[in-house]
């Protein structure tokens, strides 16, 4: 497969914005969770983030990028985006709303630009991994570059133990 065929919408947006990134591919025909992906690629779990899409009580959609080993705190997340409450977007609606499939969903280049929040701890990292916009692909980039490309803000939106 040539490099040209590998380009995803997310990669084209990063290039158009002159944002530096690299990517890794892995064999994947169906949804694989972030922990399995990190293990397959030999990546530090603390550097790999998952993208969650939620629906607010108002009918709006919100995107959260959190570490793969963490769980979203719906109260904190709702407060961060100014909603009364949030719930996970139903899986059957994911592709229709975002243009991406489960396991290939990234905050960059969804059908529409939804309010996006990156877990604040990511700011301390030099680099992080997020889905590349299709199954079998991870993009590595700086957290501030992800923030810029996704029009995101940083906030604390995970459960604390």
Phi/psi at 78 (nearest 5 deg)? -60, -45
CB 118 within 8 A of CB 141: no
Of 40, 14, 44, 39, the C-alpha closest to 146 is 14
- Going from the N-terminus, what domains does the chain have, and what CATH number goes with each? 3-130+141-155 (3.90.960.10)
pLDDT mean over 143-148: 97
Q: 52 in helix, strand or coil?
A: strand
At 30 the pLDDT is 72
Query: How much is the pTM?
Result: 0.94
Q: What is the pLDDT of residues 45-92, one digit of tens each?
A: 999 999 999 999 999 999 999 999 999 999 999 999 999 999 999 999
């Amino acid at each position: 497969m040539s490099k040209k065929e590998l380009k995803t919408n997310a990669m084209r947006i990063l290039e158009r914005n002159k944002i530096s990134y690299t990517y890794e591919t892995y064999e994947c025909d169906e949804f694989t969770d972030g922990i399995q992906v990190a293990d397959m690629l030999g990546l530090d779990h603390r550097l790999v983030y998952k993208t969650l899409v939620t629906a607010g009580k108002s009918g709006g959609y919100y995107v959260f990028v959190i570490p793969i080993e963490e769980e979203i705190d719906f109260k904190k997340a709702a407060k961060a985006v100014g909603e009364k409450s949030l719930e996970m977007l139903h899986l059957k609606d994911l592709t229709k709303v975002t243009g991406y499939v489960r396991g290939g969903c990234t905050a960059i280049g969804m059908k529409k630009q939804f309010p996006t929040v990156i877990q604040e701890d990511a700011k301390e990292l030099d680099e992080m991994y997020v889905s590349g916009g299709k199954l079998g692909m991870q993009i590595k980039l700086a957290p501030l570059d992800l923030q810029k490309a996704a029009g995101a803000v940083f906030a604390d939106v995970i459960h604390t133990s």
